[in-house]
Structure 1
Amino acid sequence: MDTQQSTALLRALAELPGPLPARGVIQIVIPHTDRFTVVGNHLAQHAGLSTVAVGFAVRIQSLPQGTEIGIKALAARFREGEKLIATALRELEAHGYLRRARTRLPNGRIVTRTVFCNQPTALLRPRVAAQRPAEPQTPPPVQDPAPEPPEPERPAPEPAAPPQAPVLPDVQQEHEHEHEHAPQDHAPFVPHSTAPKPPRPLLPQPRELTAELYRAATALLSDLRRHAPQFTLSENDIRQLAPAVAAWLERDAHPDTIRHALTNDPPKLLRHPAKLLKHRLTVLLPPPLPGADDLTAPTRPRVVVTPFQTCDGCERAFRSPTPGRCRDCRAEHGHTQAAA
């Protein structure tokens, strides 16, 4: 078996076009015909994701619709532990590949569903509906004029009828007749230009814009042009966008994660980088990290039960936090002391 594989490998290397590289990996690409999943280089070569996170992203992407991808379900399917799986899922969620969406079921119950997107940056691109080209209209064939019909014979004049009231035409029938012969207009309905537009979402703001947060946010925005020259911002743009970046930093987002979310896969013709950054800072804002108390199961309140005690006077059982006499013995003992 090893000999056959070595022979097949040498034959595949000999069929590669061009000279082989002197160092590095040599790719032998055989097209898949079944059981394959397309994975983009933005995921396979993602600089901000660990190898474990990229591997689980590929595995989740290869699963069919409706497959459970929770931590317990993935741990039962694969050999990695729950802690490693949870860390990988958090990385994918921070970079937009994994989202948790709240959905209302037909019975009215609201559930949280996990959504995986194989290319999250494509969701930010404007989608334009494809328009079908108008079909060329062919003129009707030219026909020879029809011969004129012969004039009908004139009937004999009838006796004059008594005069009657003039009959008015039916307005509704004429209206229907006009619509019947009018050309049909199949143009789509265009809404009025004065229709109210939904308000634009506001830029996220931190709970407390400290001097340290503002300094880190302005430094991150000013440094974007080193990684992507098309994101060269003015001082005014940096002052407007700094609170939104501070909100990301306040939610424990790593600066490399913020930089990748803002500059990854920009449009070819980027005329207004500040508007694109404002949109991404608003739409891709990650949720706050849960605290230690949020990750623990809620505890039931303890019910305090008053214990039973044995009466020192009549040996009868009664409930009391401390030993002593029952209610009847206390009353009788009080009457005795009052009489004495």
Structure 2
Amino acid sequence: MTSADSNAPARVSSGVTHIRARQTSHFTVLANRLAQHAGSAVTVGVAAYILSLPDGAPITIQALCTHFAEGKVVISAALRELEAEGWLERRVERGPKGRVVTRTFVYDLPGAMPDDQPGAVPEPEPVAEPEPVADPEPRQEPTPEPPTAPAPPAADLLARLHHRDRRLLLSEREIAALAPAVTEWLERGVAPPEITAALTDHLPEPIRRRPARLLAHRLAVLRPQAPTSPAPRSGSPAVVPLQNCDGCDRAFRADRPGRCRGCRAGRAHARPAASPTRPGRKAVA
């Protein structure tokens, strides 16, 4: 009698098998969009290394070359690719003491704003301000108005753009900034599919600026003309205006004032016919 348990080995898959361990410290979260980035492996490696560094760590080309075996040309090309796709942004700013510095922002997802990631941007050094002079009558500060929420159709259209092109992933702040321009297109009679096509067709490869800036440029440059009053249809008869009859004061349609058809006909019948004169004789008055 055979046993019910089979001694045959389990089917082995030729694909990858994950052996996962729960990590509570010293790890970095990478988006699949970055980890599965097609192209140079150096670009993914540089991005993963920068994301693993603490705030304030130097990420100049020279500093990165001390960590990677690749040279300055390869590292510089990887940084340009990350910047073009929105993973990295470099800004030249003036510090509190007047010194010009380059600040680098690294995004977990392209399009995320620094305010959405607490601690991603170091706070500037505090500047001492003069003590305010006591006011005999304290003034009541005006209550700031709440931010205007974007129109739902425009916000929904912008939020769905990344379904057409994965590079067009926008943050909530960028959607709120672009929504008024999209609303203006909708008010001018442009259908949502036409707006989506205008924003996503023939995009550059790669995008060398922030997607929100590119979309704002297209919304401004390709903005349709405001609708005007519809022109009269060709071939349709013109509407003849109404006139008041000079004889009976009844309304009738005519190009200019005068008498209606009935008054004109009655006036013609009431007019006496002229008596004919014979040839060679003069009419006696």
Of structures 1 and 2, the one with the larger relative CO (CA 8 A, separation 6+) is 2
Question: Whose helix proportion is higher, 1 or 2?
Answer: 1
TM over 0.5: no
- Which interval holds the TM-score relative to the shorter structure? 0.3 to 0.5
Normalising to structure 2: TM-score of the pair?
0.41
Normalising to structure 1: TM-score of the pair?
0.35
